[in-house]
Amino acid sequence: VQLQASGGGLVQAGGSLRLSCAASGRTFSSRHMAWFRQVPGKDREFVAAIRWSGGHTYYADSVKGRFTISKDSAKNTVLLQMNSLKPEDTAIYYCAGSSSGAILSTIRNIDSYIYWGQGTQVTVSS
């Protein structure tokens, strides 16, 4: 499975961006899909996740109410709509896919994800 992320860029504080992650390759079977982000010198952190079956969503407290994760099952694509962006949202954003057997309690856990996209830079200016 290959994940291709796109949609990053430079935006002013208060603005919006939409990230997209398209999955391709052998039969897509991830149980969860997620977005993580990373800034230099810090660990990669959880941003949002979605259960592929049912569409339940989960968010980090720092983005709750501002970001929305969604999916297009027909296109094997996950979207992250980011509104009211803040300078502290500046990071490289990575999409990730879990194994088919991943359990719900690990949906925020980076170790639950075995497929990773290449990352897309999001820069929010003040």
Q: How far apart are CA 15 and CA 27, in angstroms?
A: 36
> Residues 27, 33, 95, 83: is their CA dihedral positive or negative?
positive
Q: How far apart are CA 30 and CA 51, in angstroms?
A: 9
Residue 24: band (very low, low, confident or very high) from pLDDT cuts 50, 70, 90? confident
- Does residue 109 have a pLDDT over 70? yes
Q: pLDDT for 35-88, tens place per residue?
A: 999 999 999 999 999 999 989 999 999 999 999 999 999 999 999 999 999 999
Give backbone dihedrals phi and psi of 5, rounded to 5 degrees, phi first: -100, 145
User: What CA–CA distances, in Å, run from 114 to 23, 66, 81, 97, 125?
Assistant: 13, 27, 23, 6, 32
